[in-house]
Structure 1
Amino acid sequence: MTARTRAPLSIALAIVLIALAAFLGGRHQASAQSRPAGAQELGDPDYGVCRGTSPTCYHDWGNFTPAVDGYKVLLYTRTAGPRHADLGPALGSGLDPALTAANVVQNAIVKLGQANGFAVDWTEDVTQLATPAQLFKYNAVIFFSTSRDTLDDAAQTSLRQYIRGGGGFVGIHNAFGTEYNWPWYEGLLGGANYYDHGPEQAGTVVTQDRHDSSTEGLPTRWNFTDEWYNLVPAPSKVRLLATVDESTLLQGVTGSMGHPGHGKVHPMAWCQYYDGGRAWLTTLGHDAKDFSTDGSFPGAAQFQKLVLGGIESAMGRTPFCRAP
């Protein structure tokens, strides 16, 4: 090919590149012009929502008036798979069904509310979550050791609309063994999911962030006994509140040490804004003795304080995911 023939080709290629740049620039400009003034970028490449520790991800639609109605939470403990012993026997239908002494978790959260000025309804009836209107009665919804596919389609839609409307979510222990096949819910958990755990054993919880309103007053280190969940994926874009010191766990026990992905940071509690709402999470909470009050179970008082702090911040009673 001669220099004379190369020149027209170079000019043609330049023209094509200029036209392509103009086309792409026009598309970008049109996209920017079509976006409403003041609109925020709400997307996330992982779960398609705004998530993280920035309050700009929170949507305040004015759906909650606690000053008038008082604070109120819904405790949901329905299990569609394994059931933790501290939940006691399955509950009857409807809202606030009869409890027995064996329903340790339900009784404990009700007492926690009574002692701290917020009302608690409890249920294992999925129809009580069927519409957003039912959920907007509550400043936060608590999933405590739910399991597997605990929600039907209507309840899934309702929960998502509730969170998008500024609702609060508290996920405790086997809330991480729930709705495995729903990516949006995994995102609600902090982009985290249950993988496995070792035997229940003593260990040391490290309060990583004592300046959050939900962990204020907790000691830097406190002894506790749990299953110490391993997570895949591990939480991301969250405010890490507590971890377990893996050096205090049994060495070489499958599922308790050296799990890929955790390293020296093994998360136990964290918080985040998610899809317009608030989400506060902890994997702790396996044993019924977690709610003992006689001092016989090390760390029970600290665990209860942690859970209370999480509930109060998720429902907006105290600053969420930041210093008090």
Structure 2
Amino acid sequence: MNLKSTLVALILLVGLSSQVSAQQFRVLVLSKTAGFRHQSIPEGVAAVKKLGQEQGFGVYVTEDAGQFTDENLAKYDVVVLLSTTGTIFDEAQKAAFQKFVQSGKGVVGIHSATDTEYEWPWYNKMIGAYFLTHPRQQTLRLEVKDKNHPATWHLPDNWLWYDELYEFRDINPDIKVLINADESTYEPAKGNGPNHPMAWYHEFDGGRVFYTALGHVESAWKNEAFLQHVHGGIWYAAKGKLPK
């Protein structure tokens, strides 16, 4: 290698090292589906990548659950389950995911992350609920119940929103609800009643979990309020910092 090539290589290496050191934390986005596949997944992936670029955290994207090994997950601070569906993990991958959470790391579930792993009780408790059904896409009033969280700091008390509105079963009573659906403002399918969570967080099995049911429609991923909502959830999952 001549001197010029050596200098170019060193410059590239220094630039890469600076970029890595500037990352606040590292996020692994999994968008694998074994059931329904949402059309908004590409928009979601692109939006999370852009958030990482703008907000200074690393984003790595995969459709391969084989990435869920002890060695590989140790590289990351947060796993984002972006509209996953169905049974997507084998037993070894499940064990690695549990160890990841138990080591104090974070998980973010988006939309159909609750339509995932129905035969895995640990997952149900971790993600916070299972999907039950949904009505047609509609506009509703979202009631922001807790604004003391980075995912909701910026939101109004009453947030008018259009989306595919999930209803849930097997809701973990330990979740801390951030946003509630006002069922009087739209036509539910079966409904969850006055306590209809649409976004929540909790500490679970040593780690931190944030979930939002929003994000079905492609347009959501161009909405600044929603993107801040997702960013706040990722930041909480990575850092665990809430105002005292």
TM-score by length of 1: 0.66
Look up the match of 2:174. Answer: 237
Tell me if structure 1 keeps the 8 A contact 2:124–2:170: no
C-alpha distance after superposition, 1:282-319 (max 9, x if no partner): 11110111112xxxxxxx22211111100000001x61
Tell me if structure 1 keeps the 8 A contact 2:29–2:62: yes
Look up the match of 1:113. Answer: 52
C-alpha distance after superposition, 1:162-202 (max 9, x if no partner): 00111100011000110000000001012x11111111111
Look up the match of 1:189. Answer: 127
Tell me if structure 2 keeps the 8 A contact 1:222–1:302: no
Look up the match of 1:75. Answer: 29
Match of 2:38 among 64, 78, 84: 84
Structure showing greater radius of gyration is 1
Q: Percent identity?
A: 35
Residues 1:269 and 2:223 are matched in the alignment: no
Q: What letter is aligned with 1:303?
A: F
Look up the match of 2:217. Answer: 287
Moved more, 206-215 or 111-120: 206-215
State the secondary structure of the residue aligned to 1:278: strand
Match of 1:173 among 101, 111, 116: 111
How far the C-alpha of 1:69 sits from its partner, in A, is 6.1
State the secondary structure of the residue aligned to 1:213: coil
| Structure with a larger share of its residues in strand | 2
Look up the match of 1:249. Answer: 186
Structure 2 residue ranges without an equivalent (≥5): 1-19
TM-score by length of 2: 0.87
C-alpha distance after superposition, 1:110-157 (max 9, x if no partner): 00111111110000011111x122112111000011010111222111
State the secondary structure of the residue aligned to 1:284: coil
State the secondary structure of the residue aligned to 2:101: helix
Look up the match of 1:214. Answer: 151
Tell me if structure 2 keeps the 8 A contact 1:213–1:323: no
Structure 1 residue ranges without an equivalent (≥5): 1-65, 88-102, 251-255, 293-299
Cα RMSD between the aligned structures? 1.7
Q: Distance in 2 between matches of 1:69 and 1:234?
A: 35
Look up the match of 2:7. Answer: none
State the secondary structure of the residue aligned to 1:286: coil
Q: What letter is aligned with 1:207?
A: V
Does the C-alpha gap of structure 1 residues 279 and 216 become closer, same or farther in structure 2, counting only changes over 3 Å?
same
Tell me if structure 2 keeps the 8 A contact 1:249–1:257: no
Q: Distance in 1 between matches of 2:49 and 2:73?
A: 18
C-alpha distance after superposition, 1:52-108 (max 9, x if no partner): xxxxxxxxxxxxxx9886311000000011100112xxxxxxxxxxxxxxx211111
Q: Distance in 2 between matches of 1:106 and 1:147?
A: 16
How far the C-alpha of 1:214 sits from its partner, in A, is 2.6
How far the C-alpha of 1:234 sits from its partner, in A, is 2.5
